[in-house]
């Protein structure tokens, strides 16, 4: 391009440029056109990239909405749906609070968990917990539907599980009604839920209080892990978290109950204990094993395993075929492997899933002796 203060041509003058076009100028014209096309392509790619990034970036209102897919309920509505949290509507009670059945919007049956407040920072901790569990989506984990706060009153709205908790089917009023296939599906489902918390969620979550009463069953007897009141972030580079003890003795790994050492292997240990309960139909702190002394479930199971007669651990309410007996013995060995000591000998829950899905037996030398805790000498540290 050239610039001049005087016109290059007279007014209304028409000039043909054909005589001025030579092979060289034609080549230069091609270069100009090619370069222009290249610039247009680069600009198009840049614009496409910026559009794609802007589409992936959350909008401002989405960023401010911390609880995606979770409804914020009015406290008065939940209070009314539970008849002012009456005894008639209460379906559960534990150390963290009470759980009530409620019907919302005249059709939706839910469970309302009323949490107990410990300390002035409870609301902040509650908010952080809701942010965490509102993003958890898995078939074997309890789904959070909503939440509410009213000063010191902290409420979670959860799925309602009509079958109730697993412990009722093992030694409660529904004892003996689960067959082996249902029991194995429950064991497998718990393992899948824990593997998701430990390895598949965007942060590692250690539940810290896996026990039979925290496993709820849906209409198809599929398990859902409940009570994330103890769930906390577990940094990748830490194996020890100096927080107060939280868990239930009998289910809690010895290194955590004794020294406060926390890792995902604490949940692996608890899973092993729950699996032994499912196999035997006995509580983990039950000592009524005829002929085997005053031993708790884990020690009793280990001694049977050492003698090669762990088939005797099987719940008498189960009427098993020969092929099923072999399968139960294998699952017993996996449960003992999950409860062995030290903690780093225990498998990850993803490895447990593979073992549950694979061959008929395990190598005996893979399992080391668990650490046994004498609960008769314990201080009452139990926090349910």
Please give the positions annotated as active site. Answer: 209
Contact 257, 196 (CB under 8 A): no
Task: Say if residue 181 carries a ligand binding annotation.
Answer: no
State whether residue 41 is helix, strand or coil. Answer: helix
* Structure token pair of residue 154: 């902290």
d(CA 69, CA 108): 16
Pairing status of strand 71-72 against strand 144-150: parallel
* Structure token pair of residue 169: 């089917």
d(CA 233, CA 135): 14
Residue 311's nearest CA partner among 320, 186, 286 is 320
d(CA 230, CA 249): 14
DSSP letter for each residue of 138-167: -TTBPPEEEEEEETTEEEEEEE--TT-BTH
Q: Could you identify the residue written with the tokens 């509102």?
A: 134
356 CB-contact burial (10 Å; exposed 0-12 / middle 13-18 / buried 19+)? middle
d(CA 247, CA 381): 9
Residue 380's nearest CA partner among 9, 79, 27, 95 is 95
Strands of the chain, DSSP E: 71-72, 90-94, 97-104, 108-115, 144-150, 153-159, 205-206, 215-217, 223-225, 232-233
d(CA 82, CA 88): 9
CA atoms in the 13 A half-sphere facing the CB of 290: 1
Contact 274, 251 (CB under 8 A): yes
Q: Which residues are annotated as a binding site for ATP?
A: 114
């Amino acid at each position: 391009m050239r610039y001049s203060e005087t016109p290059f041509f007279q007014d209304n003058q028409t000039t043909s440029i054909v005589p001025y076009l030579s092979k060289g100028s034609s080549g230069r014209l091609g270069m100009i056109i090619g370069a222009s096309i290249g610039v247009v392509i680069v600009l198009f790619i840049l614009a496409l990239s910026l559009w794609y990034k802007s589409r992936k970036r959350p909008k401002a209102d989405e960023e401010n909405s911390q609880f995606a897919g979770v409804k914020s309920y009015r406290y008065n509505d939940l209070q009314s749906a539970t008849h002012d949290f009456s005894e008639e509507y209460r379906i559960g009670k534990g150390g963290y609070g009470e759980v009530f059945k409620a019907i919302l919007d005249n059709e939706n049956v839910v469970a309302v968990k009323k949490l107990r407040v410990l300390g002035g920072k409870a609301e902040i901790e509650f908010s952080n917990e809701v942010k965490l569990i509102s993003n958890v989506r898995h078939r074997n984990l309890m789904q959070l539907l909503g939440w509410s706060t009213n000063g010191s009153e902290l409420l979670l709205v959860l799925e309602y599980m009509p079958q109730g908790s697993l412990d009722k089917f093992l030694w409660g009023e529904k004892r003996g009604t689960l067959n082996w296939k249902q029991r194995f599906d429950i064991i497998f489902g718990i393992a899948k839920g824990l593997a998701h918390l430990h390895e598949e969620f965007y942060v590692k979550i250690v539940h810290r209080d896996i026990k039979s009463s925290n496993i709820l069953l849906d209409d198809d007897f599929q398990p859902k892990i409940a009570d994330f009141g103890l769930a906390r972030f577990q940094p990748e580079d830490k194996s020890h978290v100096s927080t107060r003890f939280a868990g239930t003795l009998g289910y809690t790994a010895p290194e955590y109950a004794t020294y406060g050492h926390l890792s995902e292997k604490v949940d692996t240990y608890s899973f092993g204990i729950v699996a032994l309960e499912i196999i035997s139909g006995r509580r983990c702190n039950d000592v009524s094993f005829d002929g085997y002394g005053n031993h708790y479930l884990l020690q009793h199971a280990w001694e049977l395993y050492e003698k090669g007669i762990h088939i005797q651990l099987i719940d008498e309410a189960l009427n098993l075929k020969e092929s099923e007996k072999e399968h139960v013995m294998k699952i017993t060995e996996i449960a003992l492997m999950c409860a062995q000591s030290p903690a780093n000998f225990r498998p990850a829950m993803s490895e447990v899933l593979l073992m549950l899905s694979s061959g008929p037996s395990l190598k005996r030398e893979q399992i080391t002796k668990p650490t046994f805790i004498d609960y008769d000498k314990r201080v009452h540290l139990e926090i349910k």
